[in-house]
């Protein structure tokens, strides 16, 4: 039982469904793993063992009755602290929200619950989910289980660290500017940013979102295998009336040629050699798997979408966000907002949305020609932890390297980070992008190059 944490979600769900393992045994193994390694990495910041076991017993009772089971019946998953989970505080890494208890689940969380998963614990994030690093004044720092000197990514930092360390088989994350894709990259796992409207995403405890949040923020899964992303996406994408952007589109679209555009240097990113090597090697793996890979010199614009996404995310209500960060007093949140002031002000919502319209059309046309785009996740290997706080030049270095993550959400496109194995001991991976609602194409390409590594054993 103690090694159940090593199994994929798919393997564990099959064992539970066949009654070879009970949900209670799976929950006990997950709790034991959490207790063993979490003190070293602080990925999970809130969990209730009695509740976890109670959920598992309910799954076992349903199995005993012969009830129809969900895709993830008995599978332990973690939930990001920025998502509403009934009975828990949605702190989003803020002391100001330590008592902000949710009465209802975020619909993505509700869908995981409906699929029979065991909600194991709440994972950490940076204050207000602003950074690609993980520190806050209420829950503390999260450590990368692969290498403590590196960032675990952000903002779904605890999600990436938890999955990499074997705490839960799937992690819920959210992504407006790389917050699923970058923790997966930094922690050596896989992460899927779904299309806008694929997974219902909303926090009832906070009310309406800004337009940037409405059109760019999504919930999605992180996992150790690509197939686990596939089944968790199916579970998370069940309908919900709570999100007006939700679209009931089939998970698998029409057949497309196995054709990939590979871009090593999108829009002047100038990646480090290790990143270029990883993307080129992924292209080789795809060719070996029967895909046609065409190297292209550039993609549609990425810098302008990245700038517009930053404006819609942080420029809309900038002064109110800054005032909140000042009340919180978190150095990382303040550094982020002060560092982007010149990028987001003056803010012109109408102009930003008009340009989004035209840029989206250009990207849609490109992805109609090329079913899948292969490119870097970041221009650099995972950063040293808290590099963005070192000085102004380091802040700009971080921001510039994250261009491939910032651009894609503006158009509402799906994107997948696939870990391809370490480069001299440091995690590295690649990013796939496809047309809206074509996560299936990203996942198919991801499976063709999947490294298939299991999480490291913690000392």
pLDDT digits (tens, 9 = 90+) for 166-221: 999 999 999 999 999 999 999 999 999 999 999 999 999 998 999 999 999 999 99
Helices marked H in 311-391:
318-328, 331-339, 341-344, 349-369
C-alpha dihedral over 8, 33, 454, 175, to 10 degrees? 70
429-441 per-position pLDDT tens digit: 999 999 999 999 9
User: Is residue 33 a contact partner of residue 6, using CB atoms and an 8 Å limit?
Assistant: no
Structure tokens at 177: 């500017």
pLDDT exceeds 80 at position 346: yes
Average pLDDT, integer, range 333-343: 98
d(CA 51, CA 444): 36
Residues in the chain: 459
pLDDT exceeds 90 at position 153: yes
Could you tell me what percent of the chain has a pLDDT over 70?
Answer: 98
Instruction: With cut-offs at 50, 70 and 90, classify the pLDDT of residue 456.
Output: low
Superfamily for the 4-449 domain:
Amidase signature (AS) domain (3.90.1300.10)
pLDDT exceeds 60 at position 285: yes
Structure tokens at 94: 């803020």
pLDDT exceeds 50 at position 409: yes
Instruction: With cut-offs at 50, 70 and 90, classify the pLDDT of residue 165.
Output: very high
Average pLDDT, integer, range 321-335: 98
User: Is residue 138 a contact partner of residue 98, using CB atoms and an 8 Å limit?
Assistant: yes
The pLDDT of residue 455: 60
The pLDDT of residue 459: 47
All structural domains of the chain with their residue ranges:
4-449
CA-derived radius of gyration, the chain:
20
28-40 per-position pLDDT tens digit: 999 999 999 999 9
What positions carry a catalytic annotation? Answer: 80, 155, 179
Average pLDDT, integer, range 45-57: 98
The pLDDT of residue 326: 98
123-141 per-position pLDDT tens digit: 999 999 999 999 999 999 9
Q: Looking at the DSSP assignment, which residues form a beta bridge with residue 192?
A: 416
The pLDDT of residue 453: 61
Peptide bond into 234 cis (omega under 30): no
Average pLDDT, integer, range 288-315: 98
Q: Which residues contact 329 (CB under 8 A, 6 or more apart)?
A: 137
pLDDT exceeds 60 at position 458: no
Average pLDDT, integer, range 6-16: 97
**What's the whole-model pTM score?**
0.97
Beta-strand pair 415-419/76-80: unpaired
Structure tokens at 425: 């001991």
The pLDDT of residue 451: 76
Q: Which residues contact 452 (CB under 8 A, 6 or more apart)?
A: 225
Average pLDDT for the chain = 97
């Amino acid at each position: 039982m103690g090694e159940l944490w090593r199994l994929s979600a798919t393997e564990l769900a099959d064992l539970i469904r066949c009654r070879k393992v009970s949900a209670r045994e799976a929950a006990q193994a997950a709790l034991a793993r959490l207790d063993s390694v979490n003190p070293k990495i602080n990925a999970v910041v809130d969990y209730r063992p009695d509740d976890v076991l109670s959920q598992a017993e309910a799954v076992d009772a349903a199995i005993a009755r012969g009830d129809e089971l969900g895709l993830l019946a008995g599978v332990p998953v973690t939930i990001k602290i920025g998502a509403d989970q009934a009975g828990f505080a949605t702190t989003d890494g803020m002391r100001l929200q330590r008592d902000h208890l949710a009465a209802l689940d975020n619909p993505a969380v509700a869908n995981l619950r409906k699929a029979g998963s065991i909600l194991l614990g709440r994972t950490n994030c940076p204050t207000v989910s602003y950074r690609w690093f993980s520190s806050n004044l209420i829950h503390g720092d999260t450590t990368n289980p692969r290498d403590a000197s590196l960032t675990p990514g952000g903002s779904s930092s605890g999600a990436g660290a938890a999955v990499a360390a074997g705490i839960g088989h799937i992690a819920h994350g959210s992504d407006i500017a790389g917050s699923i894709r970058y923790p997966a990259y930094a922690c050596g796992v896989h992460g899927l940013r779904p299309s806008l409207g694929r997974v219902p995403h909303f926090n009832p405890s906070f009310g309406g979102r800004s337009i940037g949040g409405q059109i760019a923020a999504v919930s999605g899964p992180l996992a150790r295998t690509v197939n686990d992303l596939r089944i968790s996406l199916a579970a998370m994408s069940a309908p919900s009336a709570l999100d007006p952007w939700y679209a009931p589109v089939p998970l698998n679209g029409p057949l497309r040629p196995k054709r990939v555009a590979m871009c090593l240097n999108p829009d002047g990113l100038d990646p480090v050699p290790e990143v270029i090597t990883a993307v080129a090697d992924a292209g080789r793996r795809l060719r070996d798997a029967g895909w046609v890979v065409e190297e292209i010199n550039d993609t549609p614009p990425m810098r302008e979408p990245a700038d517009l996404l930053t404006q819609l995310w942080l420029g809309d209500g900038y002064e109110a966000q800054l005032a909140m960060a000042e009340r919180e007093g978190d150095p990382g949140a303040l550094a982020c907002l002060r560092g982007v002031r010149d990028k987001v002000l003056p803010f012109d919502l109408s102009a930003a949305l008009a340009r989004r319209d035209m840029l989206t059309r250009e990207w849609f046309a490109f992805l109609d020609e090329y079913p899948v785009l292969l490119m870097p996740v970041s221009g650099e290997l995972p950063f040293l932890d808290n590099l963005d706080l070192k000085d102004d030049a380091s802040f700009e270095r971080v921001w510039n390297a994250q261009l491939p993550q910032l651009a894609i959400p503006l158009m509402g496109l799906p994107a997948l980070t696939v870990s391809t194995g370490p480069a001299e001991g440091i995690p590295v991976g690649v990013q796939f992008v496809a047309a809206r609602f074509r996560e299936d194409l990203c996942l198919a390409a991801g499976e063709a190059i999947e490294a298939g590594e299991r999480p490291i054993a913690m000392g």
